[in-house]
């Protein structure tokens, strides 16, 4: 058997030098006259081990990482093609603690094989969900998704099945499935990883959504900052079309479904669903007032399912293994699994899919293993730029939509940014307002003007100008933004600001050093 070497083509791995490693391995193979097949897989998500190279041996896969180009010669010398020992040796990838502790449902296949091999996809259970779906009545598919308890993974947490039911029940000759792949929140990369590492699961999920609701056309709106994901999705759609997964007869059934990949143009607010629809229509990405709901009047005024990548990519496993199987994971009203993205100043950063219910402390301290700098953790921001900053005192909060809401936070798209004790929380609060000002679509006043005034007022606090009065002003402003904005951009910017103010008040005191220097 020709040895197979797996080198991730995922952009996270590429950012850490996977391409150079691939070249070095190819050169070494040529130089030594060894015949081997190099497979470019996705990433399994343990970014602290990337580039993680795997070889297929008689006893299964053996992983090495993080591999540097300078390691390649010695890897060959150590007989890595047969799993030989080396300082980068990690053993069987699924035994690596960071990966072994996970519950991989949505990411079950991500990073294992060539993302564009439909055979590899099928060999690991792919397309079973869609096969089941084409034999079912639309209402039964919707029922199964509803019963699974799946909620929108983009951040809002709205029950996916309910959304689908509205579209199913709204009669129209044309309906759409829109996938929100405008993953703009810092600390999130789950959508990117799926699109680059297991694109067929998203395509399968969208096809199921189409059959369930009577929609025949899908769009994936991917942000322009993700060129690798765009390229991969375009190729995967081609493969799926040729194989009859997409087209006029999905898997040979009478159901038609096809899709197009569209690219955003650098506007964060287009991650908001109604802005995204406007953008797809070729308009400015301004927010629409709701109602009408997109499920009734969405893209081009037609009934539209708009779901996040992870919501749609979680559907195939639900249709394959059943609603009860999925619902069995999790806690409270947060059912199933959630891909937690551990990022920022953290020793073991990466994607960790787990059932809902782990505490924030377990995620940061046990899974993430503390900060990369080795300093104490000061704060973690959960849910991207619109999420709250949590101090260590709240690390007992379980990962659950309602539990986070109880503590004035949100899980959002489940990204976690870790900050060490050098972080200045006033600066972070200011950034939240500044970011809102840069990205505001301008439609509603609290967001458009409030964000700019917020920056100015926080600057006054930093400058020691009437700090108590200005803190009260920021608090009042946050209240206006929270309740007066049309969408989550203006409405949630208060989360990082107020949490910084509430939990890290010391950082908002005027710096005594600056006064002494004058």
Partner 1 sequence: MTMQAASTEIASRTAAIVQDMKGLEGPLLPILHGIQEEFGHVPQASLPIIAEALNISNAEVHGVVTFYHDYRSHPAGRHVLKVCQAEACQSMGSDAVAAKLKQLLGIGFHETTKDGSVTLEPVYCLGLCACAPSAMLDGEVIGRLDDEKLDEIVAEVRS
Joined together, the tokens standing for residue 130 give 């869609």
In the complex with partner 1, which residue's Cβ is closer, 83 or 349?
A: 349
Chain positions 440 to 479 lying near partner 1, rule: CB under 8 A, are 441
Q: In angstroms, how far is CA 174 from the centroid of its own chain?
A: 29
CB of 23 vs partner 1, minimal distance in Å: 14
Q: Which one of 72-80, 220-228, 355-363, 393-401 is the stretch in contact with partner 1 (CB under 8 A)? A: 220-228
Helices first, then strands: H and E counts in the chain: 22, 16
Joined together, the tokens standing for residue 57 give 């041996």
Q: What are 103's strand-pairing partners?
A: none
Mark 101-140 with x for binding to partner 1 (rule: CB under 8 A) and - for no binding. Answer: ----------------------------------------
In the complex with partner 1, which residue's Cβ is closer, 43 or 160?
A: 43
In the complex with partner 1, which residue's Cβ is closer, 80 or 219?
A: 219
3-state secondary structure at position 308: strand
In the complex with partner 1, which residue's Cβ is closer, 149 or 199?
A: 199
Separation CA 300–CA 120 (nearest Å): 37
In the complex with partner 1, which residue's Cβ is closer, 96 or 331?
A: 96
In the complex with partner 1, which residue's Cβ is closer, 192 or 335?
A: 192
Separation CA 129–CA 503 (nearest Å): 45
Chain positions 241 to 270 lying near partner 1, rule: CB under 8 A, are 260, 262-268
Separation CA 462–CA 382 (nearest Å): 24
**What does residue 420 show for φ and ψ, rounded to 5 degrees?**
-90, -175
CB of 444 vs partner 1, minimal distance in Å: 15
User: By the 8 A CB rule, do 503 and 494 touch?
Assistant: no
Q: Which one of 45-53, 96-104, 114-122, 200-208 is the stretch in contact with partner 1 (CB under 8 A)? A: 45-53
Residue 284 binds to partner 1 (criterion: CB under 8 A):
yes
In the complex with partner 1, which residue's Cβ is closer, 151 or 430?
A: 430
Q: What are 338's strand-pairing partners?
A: 354
In the complex with partner 1, which residue's Cβ is closer, 251 or 386?
A: 386
In the complex with partner 1, which residue's Cβ is closer, 268 or 399?
A: 268
In the complex with partner 1, which residue's Cβ is closer, 16 or 90?
A: 16
Separation CA 254–CA 416 (nearest Å): 43
Residue 48 binds to partner 1 (criterion: CB under 8 A):
yes
- 62-96 residues labelled b (16+ CB within 10 A) or e (exposed): bbbbbbebebbeebbebebbebbebebebebbeeb
Residue 279 binds to partner 1 (criterion: CB under 8 A):
yes
User: By the 8 A CB rule, do 130 and 204 touch?
Assistant: yes
500 burial via Cβ count (<10 Å: 0-12, 13-18, 19+): buried
Q: Site for partner 1 (CB under 8 A): which residue of 42, 155, 385, 454?
A: 385
Residue 415 binds to partner 1 (criterion: CB under 8 A):
yes
Mark 296-315 with x for binding to partner 1 (rule: CB under 8 A) and - for no binding. Answer: ---xx---------------
Strands in 345-397 per DSSP E: 350-355, 377-382, 389-391
CB of 46 vs partner 1, minimal distance in Å: 9
Q: Which one of 42-50, 101-109, 394-402, 505-513 is the stretch in contact with partner 1 (CB under 8 A)? A: 42-50
Residue 501 binds to partner 1 (criterion: CB under 8 A):
no
CB of 37 vs partner 1, minimal distance in Å: 25
In the complex with partner 1, which residue's Cβ is closer, 372 or 449?
A: 372
Q: Site for partner 1 (CB under 8 A): which residue of 198, 273, 420, 507?
A: 420
Separation CA 300–CA 296 (nearest Å): 11
Q: Site for partner 1 (CB under 8 A): which residue of 71, 183, 204, 273?
A: 183
3-state secondary structure at position 19: helix
Name the strand (E) or helix (H) holding 220. Answer: strand 217-222
Residue 226 binds to partner 1 (criterion: CB under 8 A):
yes
Mark 4-33 with x for binding to partner 1 (rule: CB under 8 A) and - for no binding. Answer: -------xx-xxx-----------------
**Whole-Å CA distances, 272 to 268, 339, 393, 512:** 8, 20, 32, 41
3-state secondary structure at position 362: helix
Report the 3 state secondary structure along 416-446. EEEEECCCCHHHHHHHHHHHHHHHCCCCCHH
Q: In angstroms, how far is CA 396 from the centroid of its own chain?
A: 23
Name the strand (E) or helix (H) holding 420. Answer: strand 415-420
Contact positions vs partner 1 (CB under 8 A): 11-12, 14-16, 47-48, 50, 183-189, 191-192, 217, 224-228, 260, 262-268, 279-286, 299-300, 341-346, 349-351, 372, 381, 384-385, 415, 417-420, 423, 428, 431, 435, 438-439, 441
């Amino acid at each position: 058997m020709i040895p197979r070497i797996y080198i991730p083509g995922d952009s996270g791995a590429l950012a850490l030098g996977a391409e150079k490693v691939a070249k070095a391995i190819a050169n070494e193979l040529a130089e030594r006259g060894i015949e081997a097949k190099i497979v470019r897989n996705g990433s399994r998500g343990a970014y602290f081990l990337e580039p993680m190279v795997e070889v297929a041996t008689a006893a299964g896969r053996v992983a090495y990482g993080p591999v540097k180009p300078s390691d390649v010669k010695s890897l060959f010398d150590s007989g890595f093609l047969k799993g030989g020992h080396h300082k980068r040796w990690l053993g069987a990838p699924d035994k690596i603690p960071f990966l072994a502790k996970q519950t991989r449902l949505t990411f079950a296949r991500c990073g294992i094989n060539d993302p564009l091999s439909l055979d590899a996809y099928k060999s690991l259970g792919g397309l079973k969900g869609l096969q089941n779906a084409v034999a079912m009545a639309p209402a039964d598919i919707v029922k199964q998704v509803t019963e699974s308890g799946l909620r929108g993974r983009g951040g809002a947490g709205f029950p996916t099945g309910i959304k689908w039911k509205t579209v199913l029940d709204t009669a129209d000759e044309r309906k759409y499935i829109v996938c929100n792949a405008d993953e703009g929140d810092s600390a999130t990369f789950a959508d990117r990883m799926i699109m680059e590492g297991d694109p067929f699961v998203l395509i399968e999920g969208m096809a199921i959504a189409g059959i369930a609701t009577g929609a025949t056309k899908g769009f994936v709106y991917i942000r322009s900052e993700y060129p690798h994901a765009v390229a991969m999705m375009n190729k995967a759609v081609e493969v799926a079309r040729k194989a009859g997964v997409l087209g006029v007869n999905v898997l040979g059934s009478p159901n038609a479904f096809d899709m197009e990949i569209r690219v955003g143009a650098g506007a964060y607010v287009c991650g908001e669903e109604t802005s995204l629809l406007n953008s797809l229509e070729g308009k400015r990405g301004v927010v629409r007032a709701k109602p009408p709901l997109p499920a009734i009047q969405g893209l081009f005024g037609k009934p539209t399912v708009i779901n996040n990548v992870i919501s749609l990519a979680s559907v195939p496993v639900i249709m394959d293994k059943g609603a009860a199987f999925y619902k069995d994971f999790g806690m409270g009203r947060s059912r199933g699994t959630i891909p937690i993205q551990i990022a920022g100043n953290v020793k073991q950063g990466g994607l960790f899919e787990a059932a809902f219910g782990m505490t924030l402390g377990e995620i940061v301290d046990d899974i993430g293993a503390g900060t990369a700098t080795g300093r104490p953790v000061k704060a973690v921001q959960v849910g991207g730029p619109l999420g709250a900053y949590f101090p260590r005192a709240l690390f007992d909060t379980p990962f659950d939509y309602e539990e986070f809401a109880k503590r004035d936070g949100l899980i959002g798209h489940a990204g976690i940014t870790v900050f060490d004790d050098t972080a200045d929380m006033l600066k972070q609060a200011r950034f939240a307002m500044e970011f809102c000002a840069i990205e505001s679509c301008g439609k509603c006043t609290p967001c458009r003007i409030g964000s700019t005034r917020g920056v100015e007022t926080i600057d006054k606090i930093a400058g020691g100008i009437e700090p108590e009065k200005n803190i009260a002003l920021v608090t009042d402003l946050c209240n206006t933004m929270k309740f007066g904005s049309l969408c989550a951009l203006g409405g949630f910017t208060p989360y990082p600001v107020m949490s910084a103010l509430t939990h890290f008040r010391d950082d908002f005191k005027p710096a005594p050093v600056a006064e002494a220097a004058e």
